[in-house]
Structure 1
Amino acid sequence: MTDKRIAVVTGASSGIGRAVARRFAEDGLRVVAAGRREEALASLAREAAELPGAVLPHPGDMNGEGYAGELLDAAGREWGAPSVFVLSAGRGLPGTVLGSDAGQWQGLIESNVTSVLHQLRACGSLFRSHAEQDGGRQVRDIVVIGSTVGRQISAANPVYGATKFAVHSLVEALRQELCAHNIRVTLVEPGFVRSGFQEAAGYDMEWFAKVAEENGPLLTPEDVAETVRFVVGQPAHVHLDDIRIRPTRQKG
Protein backbone atom coordinates (compact mmCIF):
# COMPACT_ATOMS: atom_id res chain seq x y z
CA MET A 1 0.00 0.00 0.00
CA THR A 2 1.75 3.12 -1.21
CA ASP A 3 -1.11 5.59 -1.37
CA LYS A 4 -0.88 6.64 2.31
CA ARG A 5 -4.55 6.00 2.99
CA ILE A 6 -6.38 7.13 6.10
CA ALA A 7 -7.97 4.44 8.26
CA VAL A 8 -10.15 3.98 11.33
CA VAL A 9 -9.62 0.81 13.39
CA THR A 10 -11.86 -0.13 16.30
CA GLY A 11 -10.87 -2.51 19.07
CA ALA A 12 -7.33 -1.20 18.63
CA SER A 13 -6.25 -1.30 22.27
CA SER A 14 -5.52 -5.04 22.12
CA GLY A 15 -5.55 -8.19 20.04
CA ILE A 16 -6.43 -8.17 16.36
CA GLY A 17 -7.44 -4.51 16.25
CA ARG A 18 -4.13 -3.40 17.73
CA ALA A 19 -2.19 -5.59 15.31
CA VAL A 20 -4.12 -4.17 12.35
CA ALA A 21 -3.53 -0.57 13.44
CA ARG A 22 0.19 -1.20 13.89
CA ARG A 23 0.52 -3.01 10.57
CA PHE A 24 -1.21 -0.11 8.83
CA ALA A 25 1.17 2.36 10.48
CA GLU A 26 4.10 0.23 9.35
CA ASP A 27 2.80 0.60 5.80
CA GLY A 28 2.52 4.37 6.09
CA LEU A 29 -1.21 4.67 6.72
CA ARG A 30 -2.56 7.26 9.12
CA VAL A 31 -4.82 5.55 11.63
CA VAL A 32 -7.46 6.67 14.11
CA ALA A 33 -7.23 3.93 16.74
CA ALA A 34 -10.32 3.37 18.89
CA GLY A 35 -10.72 1.28 22.03
CA ARG A 36 -11.67 1.37 25.68
CA ARG A 37 -8.16 1.38 27.18
CA GLU A 38 -6.67 4.85 26.95
CA GLU A 39 -3.15 3.94 28.04
CA ALA A 40 -2.96 1.00 25.65
CA LEU A 41 -3.88 3.30 22.77
CA ALA A 42 -1.35 5.87 23.92
CA SER A 43 1.31 3.15 23.95
CA LEU A 44 0.37 2.17 20.41
CA ALA A 45 0.67 5.80 19.30
CA ARG A 46 4.13 6.04 20.84
CA GLU A 47 5.23 2.94 18.94
CA ALA A 48 3.84 4.39 15.73
CA ALA A 49 5.96 7.52 16.16
CA GLU A 50 8.89 5.40 14.94
CA LEU A 51 6.96 4.07 11.93
CA PRO A 52 6.23 5.55 8.49
CA GLY A 53 2.57 6.15 9.32
CA ALA A 54 0.83 7.63 12.35
CA VAL A 55 -1.70 6.64 15.01
CA LEU A 56 -4.19 9.02 16.60
CA PRO A 57 -5.64 7.48 19.81
CA HIS A 58 -9.37 7.98 20.31
CA PRO A 59 -10.50 6.12 23.46
CA GLY A 60 -14.18 5.56 24.06
CA ASP A 61 -17.07 3.11 24.12
CA MET A 62 -18.10 1.67 20.75
CA ASN A 63 -21.57 0.98 22.17
CA GLY A 64 -22.30 4.70 22.02
CA GLU A 65 -24.57 5.35 19.04
CA GLY A 66 -22.57 8.32 17.76
CA TYR A 67 -19.06 7.07 18.51
CA ALA A 68 -18.31 5.73 15.03
CA GLY A 69 -19.21 9.13 13.60
CA GLU A 70 -16.83 10.75 16.08
CA LEU A 71 -14.01 8.54 14.82
CA LEU A 72 -14.68 9.41 11.21
CA ASP A 73 -14.85 13.10 12.09
CA ALA A 74 -11.57 12.85 14.02
CA ALA A 75 -9.84 11.35 10.98
CA GLY A 76 -11.25 14.11 8.79
CA ARG A 77 -10.07 16.87 11.10
CA GLU A 78 -6.59 15.42 11.50
CA TRP A 79 -5.76 14.23 7.99
CA GLY A 80 -8.74 14.15 5.64
CA ALA A 81 -11.46 11.75 4.61
CA PRO A 82 -10.76 8.13 5.60
CA SER A 83 -11.03 5.37 3.02
CA VAL A 84 -10.56 2.34 5.31
CA PHE A 85 -12.67 1.31 8.29
CA VAL A 86 -11.84 -1.88 10.21
CA LEU A 87 -14.37 -3.15 12.75
CA SER A 88 -12.55 -5.30 15.27
CA ALA A 89 -14.18 -4.32 18.56
CA GLY A 90 -16.29 -7.01 20.22
CA ARG A 91 -16.55 -9.35 23.17
CA GLY A 92 -17.08 -13.03 23.87
CA LEU A 93 -19.31 -15.04 26.17
CA PRO A 94 -18.64 -18.62 27.26
CA GLY A 95 -21.35 -21.18 27.75
CA THR A 96 -24.12 -23.04 25.96
CA VAL A 97 -27.73 -21.98 25.34
CA LEU A 98 -28.69 -23.54 28.67
CA GLY A 99 -25.48 -22.84 30.56
CA SER A 100 -24.40 -19.33 29.58
CA ASP A 101 -25.03 -16.30 31.80
CA ALA A 102 -28.36 -14.90 30.62
CA GLY A 103 -27.58 -11.66 32.41
CA GLN A 104 -24.87 -11.00 29.82
CA TRP A 105 -26.89 -11.77 26.70
CA GLN A 106 -28.14 -8.24 26.14
CA GLY A 107 -24.71 -6.70 26.63
CA LEU A 108 -23.22 -9.18 24.18
CA ILE A 109 -25.82 -8.33 21.55
CA GLU A 110 -25.27 -4.61 22.09
CA SER A 111 -21.49 -4.95 21.68
CA ASN A 112 -21.38 -7.48 18.86
CA VAL A 113 -24.48 -6.65 16.81
CA THR A 114 -26.08 -3.30 17.61
CA SER A 115 -22.75 -1.50 17.84
CA VAL A 116 -21.63 -3.09 14.57
CA LEU A 117 -24.83 -1.90 12.91
CA HIS A 118 -24.13 1.67 14.01
CA GLN A 119 -20.53 1.42 12.79
CA LEU A 120 -21.55 -0.03 9.44
CA ARG A 121 -24.18 2.64 8.92
CA ALA A 122 -21.84 5.48 9.87
CA CYS A 123 -18.89 4.45 7.72
CA GLY A 124 -21.06 3.09 4.90
CA SER A 125 -23.05 6.31 4.67
CA LEU A 126 -19.93 8.47 4.68
CA PHE A 127 -18.10 6.32 2.14
CA ARG A 128 -21.11 6.27 -0.18
CA SER A 129 -21.46 10.04 0.06
CA HIS A 130 -17.81 10.53 -0.84
CA ALA A 131 -18.07 7.97 -3.65
CA GLU A 132 -21.02 9.81 -5.12
CA GLN A 133 -18.95 12.98 -5.10
CA ASP A 134 -15.90 11.48 -6.82
CA GLY A 135 -17.70 8.97 -9.00
CA GLY A 136 -16.17 6.04 -7.13
CA ARG A 137 -12.73 6.79 -8.50
CA GLN A 138 -11.15 6.02 -5.13
CA VAL A 139 -11.55 2.55 -3.73
CA ARG A 140 -12.85 2.40 -0.16
CA ASP A 141 -12.70 -0.55 2.23
CA ILE A 142 -14.84 -1.69 5.15
CA VAL A 143 -13.37 -4.78 6.84
CA VAL A 144 -15.22 -6.64 9.59
CA ILE A 145 -13.61 -9.23 11.86
CA GLY A 146 -16.06 -12.09 12.18
CA SER A 147 -15.40 -15.65 13.34
CA THR A 148 -15.52 -19.20 12.08
CA VAL A 149 -18.26 -19.80 14.68
CA GLY A 150 -20.38 -17.35 12.71
CA ARG A 151 -20.48 -19.91 9.91
CA GLN A 152 -20.11 -23.27 11.66
CA ILE A 153 -22.54 -23.86 14.52
CA SER A 154 -20.89 -24.58 17.86
CA ALA A 155 -22.97 -26.21 20.58
CA ALA A 156 -20.29 -25.19 23.07
CA ASN A 157 -20.26 -21.48 22.16
CA PRO A 158 -23.61 -20.71 20.54
CA VAL A 159 -24.55 -17.34 22.02
CA TYR A 160 -21.37 -15.64 20.87
CA GLY A 161 -21.66 -17.58 17.61
CA ALA A 162 -25.20 -16.28 17.08
CA THR A 163 -23.97 -12.70 17.22
CA LYS A 164 -21.35 -13.53 14.58
CA PHE A 165 -23.96 -15.19 12.35
CA ALA A 166 -25.89 -11.91 12.51
CA VAL A 167 -22.81 -9.85 11.71
CA HIS A 168 -21.91 -12.04 8.74
CA SER A 169 -25.39 -11.46 7.32
CA LEU A 170 -25.10 -7.70 7.76
CA VAL A 171 -21.70 -7.60 6.08
CA GLU A 172 -22.91 -9.40 2.96
CA ALA A 173 -26.03 -7.23 2.79
CA LEU A 174 -23.92 -4.06 3.00
CA ARG A 175 -21.53 -5.41 0.38
CA GLN A 176 -24.43 -5.76 -2.04
CA GLU A 177 -25.67 -2.28 -1.17
CA LEU A 178 -22.33 -0.53 -1.70
CA CYS A 179 -20.38 -2.49 -4.31
CA ALA A 180 -21.64 -0.36 -7.23
CA HIS A 181 -19.91 2.62 -5.58
CA ASN A 182 -16.49 0.91 -5.66
CA ILE A 183 -16.73 0.26 -1.92
CA ARG A 184 -15.42 -3.13 -0.82
CA VAL A 185 -17.07 -4.66 2.24
CA THR A 186 -15.06 -7.64 3.47
CA LEU A 187 -15.59 -10.27 6.14
CA VAL A 188 -12.55 -11.92 7.74
CA GLU A 189 -13.38 -15.05 9.75
CA PRO A 190 -10.55 -16.14 12.06
CA GLY A 191 -10.46 -19.47 13.80
CA PHE A 192 -8.63 -19.89 17.10
CA VAL A 193 -6.44 -16.85 17.83
CA ARG A 194 -4.18 -16.50 20.87
CA SER A 195 -4.84 -12.88 21.76
CA GLY A 196 -6.16 -12.47 25.30
CA PHE A 197 -9.75 -12.49 24.00
CA GLN A 198 -10.60 -15.68 25.87
CA GLU A 199 -9.27 -14.43 29.20
CA ALA A 200 -11.15 -11.14 28.90
CA ALA A 201 -14.41 -12.92 28.13
CA GLY A 202 -14.08 -15.38 31.00
CA TYR A 203 -13.59 -18.59 29.05
CA ASP A 204 -12.20 -21.66 30.86
CA MET A 205 -8.48 -21.33 30.27
CA GLU A 206 -7.86 -25.03 30.97
CA TRP A 207 -10.23 -25.74 28.08
CA PHE A 208 -8.39 -23.22 25.92
CA ALA A 209 -5.05 -24.82 26.76
CA LYS A 210 -6.43 -28.12 25.45
CA VAL A 211 -7.66 -26.34 22.32
CA ALA A 212 -4.19 -24.91 21.78
CA GLU A 213 -2.60 -28.32 22.25
CA GLU A 214 -4.96 -30.00 19.79
CA ASN A 215 -5.07 -27.24 17.17
CA GLY A 216 -1.88 -25.24 17.60
CA PRO A 217 0.19 -23.45 16.82
CA LEU A 218 -2.76 -21.04 17.01
CA LEU A 219 -3.13 -17.92 14.94
CA THR A 220 -1.69 -14.67 16.27
CA PRO A 221 -3.28 -11.23 15.91
CA GLU A 222 -0.48 -10.41 13.49
CA ASP A 223 -1.55 -13.29 11.23
CA VAL A 224 -5.03 -11.79 10.96
CA ALA A 225 -3.63 -8.29 10.50
CA GLU A 226 -1.56 -9.50 7.57
CA THR A 227 -4.74 -10.84 5.98
CA VAL A 228 -6.49 -7.48 6.44
CA ARG A 229 -3.46 -5.74 4.95
CA PHE A 230 -3.62 -8.04 1.93
CA VAL A 231 -7.35 -7.39 1.43
CA VAL A 232 -7.12 -3.59 1.41
CA GLY A 233 -3.96 -3.67 -0.70
CA GLN A 234 -5.65 -5.27 -3.71
CA PRO A 235 -6.13 -3.34 -6.97
CA ALA A 236 -9.38 -1.38 -7.05
CA HIS A 237 -11.14 -3.90 -9.32
CA VAL A 238 -10.31 -6.89 -7.07
CA HIS A 239 -12.41 -7.69 -4.00
CA LEU A 240 -11.71 -10.57 -1.61
CA ASP A 241 -15.06 -10.32 0.14
CA ASP A 242 -14.99 -13.30 2.56
CA ILE A 243 -11.88 -14.96 3.97
CA ARG A 244 -11.61 -17.73 6.54
CA ILE A 245 -8.25 -18.08 8.26
CA ARG A 246 -7.59 -20.99 10.60
CA PRO A 247 -4.66 -22.65 12.29
CA THR A 248 -3.55 -25.38 9.92
CA ARG A 249 -4.48 -28.11 12.42
CA GLN A 250 -7.94 -26.73 13.29
CA LYS A 251 -10.64 -29.09 12.01
CA GLY A 252 -13.82 -27.22 12.81
Structure 2
Amino acid sequence: MYADTQNDITRQVVRVAQLLLAYGAESDLVEEISQRLGRALGLASVELSISSNSLVLTSLVHGRCITTTRRIREHGINMRIVCELQRICLLAEKGLYGPNEVRKRVARITPKSYPAALVIPMIGLSCASFCHLFGGDWMSSIITFIAAAIGMSVRLSLARRHFNPLVIFSLTAFVTTAVAQLSYECPLTKTSELAMAASVLMLVPGFPMINAISDMVKGHMNVGISRWGHATLLTVASVIGITIAMQLGGKFL
Protein backbone atom coordinates (compact mmCIF):
# COMPACT_ATOMS: atom_id res chain seq x y z
CA MET A 1 0.00 0.00 0.00
CA TYR A 2 1.38 3.41 -1.00
CA ALA A 3 1.72 6.22 1.54
CA ASP A 4 -0.88 8.33 -0.30
CA THR A 5 -3.36 5.47 -0.13
CA GLN A 6 -2.72 4.98 3.58
CA ASN A 7 -3.17 8.72 4.13
CA ASP A 8 -6.50 8.68 2.30
CA ILE A 9 -7.84 5.65 4.17
CA THR A 10 -6.70 7.10 7.50
CA ARG A 11 -8.60 10.31 6.75
CA GLN A 12 -11.75 8.36 5.95
CA VAL A 13 -11.53 6.31 9.14
CA VAL A 14 -10.86 9.29 11.40
CA ARG A 15 -13.72 11.20 9.77
CA VAL A 16 -16.10 8.35 10.57
CA ALA A 17 -14.84 8.25 14.17
CA GLN A 18 -15.24 12.01 14.45
CA LEU A 19 -18.85 11.88 13.26
CA LEU A 20 -19.70 8.99 15.56
CA LEU A 21 -18.46 10.90 18.59
CA ALA A 22 -20.05 14.17 17.52
CA TYR A 23 -23.49 12.60 17.20
CA GLY A 24 -23.59 10.67 20.45
CA ALA A 25 -22.08 7.21 19.92
CA GLU A 26 -20.45 5.58 22.93
CA SER A 27 -16.66 5.36 22.93
CA ASP A 28 -16.49 1.56 22.71
CA LEU A 29 -18.61 1.60 19.54
CA VAL A 30 -16.40 4.31 18.02
CA GLU A 31 -13.29 2.21 18.59
CA GLU A 32 -14.92 -0.92 17.19
CA ILE A 33 -16.25 0.74 14.02
CA SER A 34 -12.95 2.55 13.39
CA GLN A 35 -10.89 -0.61 13.69
CA ARG A 36 -13.26 -2.69 11.58
CA LEU A 37 -13.49 -0.04 8.85
CA GLY A 38 -9.72 0.41 8.77
CA ARG A 39 -9.09 -3.31 8.38
CA ALA A 40 -11.80 -3.58 5.72
CA LEU A 41 -10.11 -0.82 3.68
CA GLY A 42 -6.65 -2.41 3.92
CA LEU A 43 -5.00 -1.07 7.08
CA ALA A 44 -3.11 -3.56 9.22
CA SER A 45 -4.32 -2.00 12.47
CA VAL A 46 -6.01 1.11 13.83
CA GLU A 47 -5.33 2.51 17.30
CA LEU A 48 -7.62 5.18 18.71
CA SER A 49 -7.26 7.46 21.73
CA ILE A 50 -10.41 9.34 22.71
CA SER A 51 -10.64 12.29 25.09
CA SER A 52 -13.51 14.58 26.03
CA ASN A 53 -13.14 16.90 23.01
CA SER A 54 -10.62 15.28 20.67
CA LEU A 55 -9.40 11.99 19.25
CA VAL A 56 -6.04 10.71 18.05
CA LEU A 57 -5.93 7.92 15.47
CA THR A 58 -2.90 5.96 14.34
CA SER A 59 -2.92 3.61 11.35
CA LEU A 60 -0.26 0.97 10.65
CA VAL A 61 0.62 -0.66 7.32
CA HIS A 62 3.90 -2.56 6.65
CA GLY A 63 5.56 -0.92 9.64
CA ARG A 64 4.62 2.61 8.52
CA CYS A 65 2.55 4.65 10.98
CA ILE A 66 0.38 7.67 10.30
CA THR A 67 -1.10 9.62 13.20
CA THR A 68 -3.78 12.28 12.94
CA THR A 69 -5.74 14.33 15.45
CA ARG A 70 -9.28 15.66 15.21
CA ARG A 71 -11.25 17.99 17.45
CA ILE A 72 -14.74 16.88 18.47
CA ARG A 73 -17.60 19.37 18.42
CA GLU A 74 -20.89 17.97 19.65
CA HIS A 75 -23.86 18.29 17.30
CA GLY A 76 -26.47 16.64 19.49
CA ILE A 77 -27.65 13.06 19.53
CA ASN A 78 -28.60 11.65 16.14
CA MET A 79 -28.86 7.86 15.93
CA ARG A 80 -29.70 8.01 12.24
CA ILE A 81 -26.17 9.18 11.44
CA VAL A 82 -24.65 6.62 13.81
CA CYS A 83 -26.60 3.82 12.10
CA GLU A 84 -25.63 5.11 8.65
CA LEU A 85 -21.94 5.03 9.57
CA GLN A 86 -22.30 1.49 10.88
CA ARG A 87 -23.96 0.52 7.60
CA ILE A 88 -21.02 1.96 5.66
CA CYS A 89 -18.65 -0.14 7.78
CA LEU A 90 -20.65 -3.30 7.07
CA LEU A 91 -20.66 -2.62 3.32
CA ALA A 92 -16.90 -2.05 3.38
CA GLU A 93 -16.39 -5.34 5.24
CA LYS A 94 -18.40 -7.16 2.57
CA GLY A 95 -16.12 -5.72 -0.12
CA LEU A 96 -18.85 -3.58 -1.68
CA TYR A 97 -17.21 -0.27 -0.72
CA GLY A 98 -13.64 0.86 -1.22
CA PRO A 99 -12.02 4.11 -0.02
CA ASN A 100 -13.62 6.18 -2.80
CA GLU A 101 -17.11 4.84 -2.13
CA VAL A 102 -16.70 5.39 1.62
CA ARG A 103 -15.58 8.97 1.03
CA LYS A 104 -18.55 9.76 -1.20
CA ARG A 105 -21.06 8.07 1.12
CA VAL A 106 -19.74 9.86 4.22
CA ALA A 107 -19.73 13.21 2.40
CA ARG A 108 -23.43 12.76 1.58
CA ILE A 109 -24.43 12.18 5.21
CA THR A 110 -26.46 15.09 6.52
CA PRO A 111 -28.36 15.28 9.82
CA LYS A 112 -32.11 15.27 9.41
CA SER A 113 -34.60 16.21 12.09
CA TYR A 114 -38.36 15.99 12.40
CA PRO A 115 -40.31 19.21 11.75
CA ALA A 116 -41.15 21.35 14.76
CA ALA A 117 -44.86 21.04 13.94
CA LEU A 118 -44.56 17.32 14.71
CA VAL A 119 -42.02 17.41 17.56
CA ILE A 120 -43.83 20.00 19.70
CA PRO A 121 -47.20 18.21 20.01
CA MET A 122 -45.54 14.81 20.46
CA ILE A 123 -43.41 16.12 23.33
CA GLY A 124 -46.51 17.63 24.86
CA LEU A 125 -48.36 14.35 24.48
CA SER A 126 -45.55 12.32 26.04
CA CYS A 127 -45.34 14.59 29.11
CA ALA A 128 -49.13 14.57 29.43
CA SER A 129 -49.05 10.78 29.32
CA PHE A 130 -46.54 10.70 32.16
CA CYS A 131 -48.78 13.02 34.16
CA HIS A 132 -51.70 10.65 33.63
CA LEU A 133 -49.57 7.62 34.58
CA PHE A 134 -48.49 9.38 37.77
CA GLY A 135 -52.14 9.72 38.75
CA GLY A 136 -52.99 13.13 37.34
CA ASP A 137 -56.55 13.89 36.27
CA TRP A 138 -57.52 14.83 32.73
CA MET A 139 -57.38 18.59 33.27
CA SER A 140 -53.94 18.28 34.82
CA SER A 141 -52.80 16.23 31.82
CA ILE A 142 -54.15 18.87 29.42
CA ILE A 143 -52.27 21.61 31.28
CA THR A 144 -49.14 19.45 31.17
CA PHE A 145 -49.56 19.07 27.41
CA ILE A 146 -49.82 22.84 26.95
CA ALA A 147 -46.87 23.62 29.24
CA ALA A 148 -44.59 21.02 27.67
CA ALA A 149 -45.53 22.07 24.14
CA ILE A 150 -44.81 25.72 24.88
CA GLY A 151 -41.56 24.77 26.60
CA MET A 152 -40.46 22.66 23.63
CA SER A 153 -41.22 25.48 21.21
CA VAL A 154 -39.02 27.77 23.33
CA ARG A 155 -36.27 25.14 23.37
CA LEU A 156 -36.31 24.71 19.59
CA SER A 157 -36.40 28.46 19.04
CA LEU A 158 -33.36 29.01 21.25
CA ALA A 159 -31.53 26.09 19.63
CA ARG A 160 -32.04 27.61 16.17
CA ARG A 161 -30.37 30.76 17.46
CA HIS A 162 -27.39 28.73 18.74
CA PHE A 163 -27.71 29.61 22.42
CA ASN A 164 -25.56 27.76 24.93
CA PRO A 165 -27.24 24.45 25.89
CA LEU A 166 -27.18 25.41 29.57
CA VAL A 167 -29.06 28.62 28.81
CA ILE A 168 -31.52 26.70 26.64
CA PHE A 169 -32.30 24.17 29.39
CA SER A 170 -32.61 26.83 32.07
CA LEU A 171 -34.94 29.09 30.08
CA THR A 172 -37.01 26.16 28.85
CA ALA A 173 -37.44 24.87 32.40
CA PHE A 174 -38.44 28.34 33.58
CA VAL A 175 -41.07 28.87 30.88
CA THR A 176 -42.47 25.33 31.20
CA THR A 177 -42.79 25.54 34.98
CA ALA A 178 -44.30 29.02 34.82
CA VAL A 179 -47.02 27.81 32.45
CA ALA A 180 -47.63 24.62 34.46
CA GLN A 181 -48.22 26.70 37.58
CA LEU A 182 -51.43 27.97 36.01
CA SER A 183 -52.92 24.62 37.00
CA TYR A 184 -53.12 25.95 40.58
CA GLU A 185 -55.57 28.58 39.34
CA CYS A 186 -57.74 25.99 37.62
CA PRO A 187 -60.58 24.71 39.83
CA LEU A 188 -61.09 21.63 37.61
CA THR A 189 -57.91 19.85 38.74
CA LYS A 190 -56.71 18.63 42.11
CA THR A 191 -53.33 17.31 40.92
CA SER A 192 -51.58 20.55 39.99
CA GLU A 193 -48.27 19.39 41.47
CA LEU A 194 -48.18 16.48 39.00
CA ALA A 195 -48.57 18.85 36.09
CA MET A 196 -45.54 20.81 37.27
CA ALA A 197 -43.47 17.66 37.75
CA ALA A 198 -44.40 15.93 34.48
CA SER A 199 -44.11 18.95 32.17
CA VAL A 200 -40.34 19.24 32.63
CA LEU A 201 -39.52 15.55 32.08
CA MET A 202 -38.51 16.41 28.50
CA LEU A 203 -35.40 18.06 29.97
CA VAL A 204 -34.03 14.91 31.62
CA PRO A 205 -30.67 14.20 29.87
CA GLY A 206 -31.18 10.44 29.91
CA PHE A 207 -29.16 9.50 26.83
CA PRO A 208 -25.98 11.41 27.83
CA MET A 209 -26.13 9.85 31.29
CA ILE A 210 -26.52 6.35 29.86
CA ASN A 211 -23.57 6.94 27.52
CA ALA A 212 -21.51 8.30 30.42
CA ILE A 213 -22.13 5.24 32.58
CA SER A 214 -21.50 2.91 29.63
CA ASP A 215 -18.17 4.61 28.87
CA MET A 216 -17.01 4.43 32.48
CA VAL A 217 -18.04 0.79 32.85
CA LYS A 218 -16.13 -0.12 29.67
CA GLY A 219 -12.96 1.65 30.74
CA HIS A 220 -13.26 5.02 28.99
CA MET A 221 -13.13 6.96 32.25
CA ASN A 222 -12.10 10.36 30.84
CA VAL A 223 -14.87 10.48 28.26
CA GLY A 224 -17.40 9.00 30.67
CA ILE A 225 -16.66 11.55 33.39
CA SER A 226 -16.80 14.35 30.84
CA ARG A 227 -20.19 13.22 29.56
CA TRP A 228 -21.46 12.74 33.10
CA GLY A 229 -20.33 16.24 33.99
CA HIS A 230 -22.08 17.71 30.96
CA ALA A 231 -25.31 15.86 31.76
CA THR A 232 -25.08 17.02 35.37
CA LEU A 233 -24.66 20.64 34.28
CA LEU A 234 -27.75 20.34 32.07
CA THR A 235 -29.69 18.96 35.03
CA VAL A 236 -28.50 21.78 37.30
CA ALA A 237 -29.45 24.37 34.67
CA SER A 238 -32.95 22.88 34.49
CA VAL A 239 -33.26 22.92 38.27
CA ILE A 240 -32.25 26.58 38.35
CA GLY A 241 -34.97 27.47 35.84
CA ILE A 242 -37.60 25.45 37.72
CA THR A 243 -36.62 26.97 41.07
CA ILE A 244 -36.77 30.55 39.80
CA ALA A 245 -40.21 29.97 38.26
CA MET A 246 -41.50 28.39 41.50
CA GLN A 247 -40.10 31.20 43.61
CA LEU A 248 -41.70 33.86 41.42
CA GLY A 249 -45.00 31.99 41.38
CA GLY A 250 -44.94 31.18 45.07
CA LYS A 251 -45.57 27.47 44.41
CA PHE A 252 -43.58 24.62 45.89
CA LEU A 253 -43.85 20.91 45.22
Q: TM-score, normalising length from structure 2?
A: 0.29
Q: TM-score, normalising length from structure 1?
A: 0.29
Q: Which has the higher contact order (CA 8 A, sep 6+)?
A: 1
Structure number, greater radius of gyration: 2
More strand per residue: 1
More helix per residue: 2
